[in-house]
Amino acid sequence: MQTTNNPKETLYPHVSVDCVLLGIHDEQLCVLLTERRDAGTDRTEYKLPGSLIYETEDLDDAAYRILNEATGLKRVPLKQFRSFGSPRRTANKEDVLWLENASKLKIGRIITVAYLALCKVKRLKISDRYGPAQWTPIARLPRLPFDHEEIIAAAVREIRVWLDMEPSIVFDYLPQLFTVSQLRRTYEIIYNRNIDVRNFHKKMNSLGYVVQTDETEQGMPHRSARFYRFDKKEYHRMRNKLNTI
């Protein structure tokens, strides 16, 4: 048993890892949710793929275990982006009860370490442990347990900051050859706002590192759009111009 001379110090927090996988599907920014099986009810509820960490597991190991168990995926590069530890995370008794049933542990407070990936994957295996995982539009999230909504909102902000800091990231997400409107739509979806078509076209032509190719879209009903490509070398040359050393 544990004793303490400082009642303010926490004795029994638990530590979990949650994974926020973001992707674009059907022209919407989506997050991957897994089913939460509620014993005793036939309701289907959803949550971020996550789990308490195991005794001998480092945080990154837990994140990749969860990714793999929930989606069958292994190679998505997960990035730890923030830990969430408000004592109010477990304010909802129903969430606590569910976790106590699932884990067979008495749950007081949980600190969760959140991981993030922007990924292109579409097809997912159905998990034995988590049930079917599904891409759910950020704009139409169901009721989620704990602070999962807040974690998702923070992940979306984080992705936008990455893109502001390092605009080249968006090209990892696009095919090698892309149209101006594909690029614009990707931005519109990630930033959740409309971008003026003419201004965007002008801006893109002035960028220098988005280069027009000779190829055009094939078999489109409307006038074929031209394909562009990302010039990584020129991008880094420009980036270097901004850097002091």
- Show contacts with a copy of itself in window 214-243 (CB under 8 A): 238-239, 241-243
**Minimum distance of a copy of itself from residue 108's CB (angstroms):** 9
| Count of Cβ atoms closer than 10 Å to residue 48 Cβ | 28
**Minimum distance of a copy of itself from residue 56's CB (angstroms):** 5
**Minimum distance of a copy of itself from residue 142's CB (angstroms):** 26
Q: Are the C-beta atoms of residues 24 and 30 closer than 8 Å to each other? A: yes
In whole angstroms, what is the distance from residue 179 CA to residue 196 CA? 16
Report the residue from 125, 129, 203, 226 that binds a copy of itself according to the rule CB under 8 A: 203
In whole angstroms, what is the distance from residue 96 CA to residue 109 CA? 9
Report the residue from 24, 35, 72, 109 that binds a copy of itself according to the rule CB under 8 A: 109
**Sign of the dihedral through C-alpha 49, 53, 58, 61:** negative
Packed helices 197-207 and 180-191: angle between N→C axes, nearest 10 degrees? 110
In whole angstroms, what is the distance from residue 188 CA to residue 28 CA? 9
Q: Does the footprint of a copy of itself cover residue 97 (CB under 8 A)?
A: no
Indicate the residue among 86 and 212 with the shorter CB distance to a copy of itself. 86
Report the residue from 104, 123, 143, 233 that binds a copy of itself according to the rule CB under 8 A: 104
**Minimum distance of a copy of itself from residue 162's CB (angstroms):** 9
**Residues 6 or more apart from 203 whose CB is under 8 A from it?**
none
Q: Does the footprint of a copy of itself cover residue 166 (CB under 8 A)?
A: yes
Q: How many residues bind a copy of itself (CB under 8 A)?
A: 58
Q: How far is CA 24 from each of CA 11, 105, 186, rounded to the nearest angstrom?
A: 41, 36, 8
- Show contacts with a copy of itself in window 48-77 (CB under 8 A): 52-59
Q: Are the C-beta atoms of residues 151 and 141 closer than 8 Å to each other? A: no
Indicate the residue among 135 and 227 with the shorter CB distance to a copy of itself. 227
| Distance from the first to the final alpha carbon of the chain | 56
Q: Does the footprint of a copy of itself cover residue 210 (CB under 8 A)?
A: yes
In 3D space, the residue among 38, 56, 153 whose CA is nearest the CA of residue 99 turns out to be: 38
**Minimum distance of a copy of itself from residue 8's CB (angstroms):** 4
Q: Does the footprint of a copy of itself cover residue 245 (CB under 8 A)?
A: yes
Judged by the rule CB under 8 A, the positions of this chain that interact with a copy of itself are 2-15, 52-59, 80, 82-87, 103-106, 109, 111, 113, 164-167, 170, 183, 187, 191, 195, 200, 203-204, 206-207, 210, 238-239, 241-245
